[in-house]
Structure 1
Amino acid sequence: MPRVKSGSWKAAGFTAFIFLLVALAIGSVNFVQFIVYFSAVVFNVVYLYSVFPGSRFFSISVANFIALYTCLFSFFVTANFSFVSGELLGVGYFMPILGFFGGTWINRKSIKSVVVEHRKNAKGLTVRSVKWLFPISLIGVVTFFVPENTIPVLWGDVIFFASMGGITLVVSVVSKDVATFLLEAGLLFEEFFLRIEMLVMPAFAFLTFYSMNVMIFGFLYRIIDHYSAVTHFSIQGEVRAISFLDSLYFSIITLSTVGYGDIIPVTDAVKAVVSIQIVVSVMLLLFGFSEIMSYSRSGPEKREQK
C-alpha cells in the first residue's frame, strides 16, 4: 500500500466532518457507535485517497457518497427495519462499505489504469457510470414490501441482512465502476471550482449590493416604526414595535420574497416600502446575475481592458 499523502488526511478530515454532521442530525447514534463509524470512515477515506490518484477534489465526492449512503441507510432503517437492534444495524451498515473497499483492493490495478485513462480523456458522467445504482435501488424498493408488523423479529433480521448482503454483493462486483464514478465526480468538482474561482470578485460585488439593500431597507423599517405614533408591524400575531434585529430579519425575508408570516406589515406606508424593496430586489437579482455571467464569459484580456 502506497505511502499516505498529506492530502489524504485533509480528505479524511473533510469526510469525517460531513459524517459528524450526519450523525448529529440523525441523533440516534450512541457514543460507541459514533466512534466506530467515525474511525472507519477516516480509515476508509485515507485508504481510498492514497491508493487511487484522484483529483484534489476527490475527497468531496467521497464525503458526499458516504454521507448520502448514511442518510439513505437511516431512512430505510426508520421506514422498514425499525425493529432491528442497534448492534445488527451497525454490522449491516458496514457490510456494503467493507464490500466496496474489498472489491477496490482486489481490482486496484485495473482501477488505476482506468483512472489514468479518464484523466487523459475525461468524458464526464454517463449512464454507464451509474448503472450500478439500478440493482441497489431495486433492493431498496423491495424492502418496502416487507410486512413489518406481521413477521417475527428473527425473520425481520434475516430479511435485513439479506438486503444488505445483496447490496454488498452488488457493490463488491461493480467496485471498479463505483470507484470510477467517484473519481469522475472528483474531476467534475475540480473543474467546477476552477471555474467559480474567476467569479469571486463579481460575486463579492453582488454580495455587497445585496447587503446594502438589506441594511438600507431594514433601517427604514426600524426608523418608520420607531419615530411614528402608529405601530406598523404585527410580530407573531401581536401588533407591537419592531426591534432593530427584527427589522433586518424582515428586510432579508422580504428581499428573498420568502414571506414566513411571522412578521407582517399592517400599515399602508410600510406596505409601500415593502413593495419598493421587492421590485428593487428582483431588479438587483436579474442585473446582478447578468453581470456575473457576462464577466465569466469575457476573457482575461477583455477584463484588463475594462
Structure 2
Amino acid sequence: MPMRQRGIWKAMGFTAFFLLLVALAIGSINPLHLTVFLSLVLCSIAFLLSVFPGSRFFTIAMANFIALYACIFNFLVTSNFSTIEPVFSSIGFILPMIGFFGGTWLHRKNIKSIVLAHQLPAARGFRASIGWLFPITGIGLVSFFFPRNLFPLIWEEVIFFVAMGGIALVVLFVSKQIATFLLDCGLLFEAFFLRIEPLIVPAFAFLTFYSMNVMVFGFIYRILDHYSSEIHFTISGEARAISFMESLYFSIITLSTVGYGDIVPRSDVARSIVSLQIVVSVMLLLFGFSEIMSYSRSRNHQK
C-alpha cells in the first residue's frame, strides 16, 4: 500500500476514533443522539475522502470541528431547549452539517485545488479567516434572550428550528470560507507533526524514565504500607493500608504535583518519601526537557 494511502487510512481511523468518543459521550445522555452522530461520522468521512482525495489532515481538522460543534450544540440545547423531543434535537443537529456539506459540494472544485496543492495559502485577514463565526454566534446568542415561560412547547420547538435553520443557511453560504479555514488548520496540524517527528525517540526515552519514577515510588508506598504495622496514608478520609493501584495512582499525582487530596501521607516516613519523589520528579522534568531540546538542536545542525 502506498505511503500516502496508508496515511489516509490512519487519518480515517483517528478521525473515527475521535468522533466516536464524542458520540459515546453524547449518547450517554440520549441513545438517539448516539445513532445520529455515528451516522454523521461515517457520512462525513466518506464525503470528505471521496470529494477531496488525499485530504487526510483535512478530515482530522473536520473531526475537531464536528466535535466542537457537538459540544456547543449540546450546551445550547441543554440551556435553552431542554424540553424539546430528542428526534427534533437530532434533526436540528444535522441541519448545519447538511448546509456545510452542500456548500462544499457546490465549491468542491475550488476547495479540491487547495487540497491537492498541499500548501498553506497566502495569509488572509482576520475577517476572511474566521469572520463567518460572527453571524453563527449571533444566532446562538439571540436564542438565550427568548423568555421560556411565555411560550408553549410547540413554539419552543419552532424557535429551535428557526435558529438551527438560520445557522444552516449561514453555513451554506460561507462553507467555502469554513472549508478553507479547516484546510489551513489541517496543513498546520501536519506541519506540526512533521516538526515533532524527530523528537519521538527522546520523548519515548523520557517517558521511560517517567514511568520508572512512577513505578519505583509506587512500589515503595505499597511496600511501606503493606509490611508495616503503622498506617501511613489516609485515603478518602479513612486511615487504612494503601492498595497496589492506589499506590501507583498516588505516585502519579505526586510526580505531577497535582495533589487532589483524596490520598494523604499521614506518617513522617511517608511524608519524607513523598518529598523525595517530588524533588526527583522536578529534576527529571528539568533534565528531561533539556535533553529533548538538546537532541532537537543537534538534529537540526546535522541537516
| Alignment TM-score > 0.5, same fold | yes
Q: 2:24·2:34 contact (CA, 8 Å) conserved in 1?
A: no
SS of match in other structure, 2:234 = strand
Q: Deviation of residue 164 (structure 1)?
A: 0.7
SS of match in other structure, 1:234 = strand
Q: Deviation of residue 175 (structure 1)?
A: 0.6
SS of match in other structure, 1:195 = helix
Matches of 2:222 and 2:194, distance apart in 1 = 42
Q: Deviation of residue 275 (structure 1)?
A: 1.0
What pairs up with 1:280-291 in 2 under 5 angstroms?
A: 280-291=280-291
Q: 2:199·2:292 contact (CA, 8 Å) conserved in 1?
A: yes
Q: 2:231·2:239 contact (CA, 8 Å) conserved in 1?
A: yes
Aligned-residue sequence identity (percent) comes to 62
Matches of 1:147 and 1:188, distance apart in 2 = 43
Q: 1:12·1:41 contact (CA, 8 Å) conserved in 2?
A: no
2:291 is aligned with what amino acid? E
Q: Deviation of residue 120 (structure 1)?
A: 4.1
2:227 is aligned with what amino acid? Y
Q: 1:125·1:181 contact (CA, 8 Å) conserved in 2?
A: no
Instruction: Describe the shift of the 1:84–1:12 C-alpha distance in structure 2 as closer, same or farther (beyond 3 A).
Output: farther
2:138 is aligned with what amino acid? L
Counterpart of 1:242?
242
Matches of 1:211 and 1:15, distance apart in 2 = 28
Counterpart of 1:28?
29
Instruction: Describe the shift of the 1:226–1:179 C-alpha distance in structure 2 as closer, same or farther (beyond 3 A).
Output: same
Counterpart of 1:90?
90
Supply the RMSD in Å over aligned alpha carbons: 2.4
Q: Normalising to structure 2: TM-score of the pair?
A: 0.88
Q: 2:73·2:93 contact (CA, 8 Å) conserved in 1?
A: yes
Q: Aligned residues, how many?
A: 297
Matches of 2:82 and 2:42, distance apart in 1 = 27
Q: Deviation of residue 15 (structure 1)?
A: 3.3
Counterpart of 1:111?
111
Q: Normalising to structure 1: TM-score of the pair?
A: 0.88
Q: 2:222·2:244 contact (CA, 8 Å) conserved in 1?
A: yes
Q: 2:54·2:116 contact (CA, 8 Å) conserved in 1?
A: no
Q: Deviation of residue 53 (structure 1)?
A: 4.3
Instruction: Describe the shift of the 1:9–1:281 C-alpha distance in structure 2 as closer, same or farther (beyond 3 A).
Output: closer
Counterpart of 1:74?
74
Matches of 2:123 and 2:21, distance apart in 1 = 29
Instruction: Describe the shift of the 1:157–1:98 C-alpha distance in structure 2 as closer, same or farther (beyond 3 A).
Output: same
Q: 1:11·1:49 contact (CA, 8 Å) conserved in 2?
A: no
Q: Deviation of residue 124 (structure 1)?
A: 6.6
SS of match in other structure, 1:104 = helix
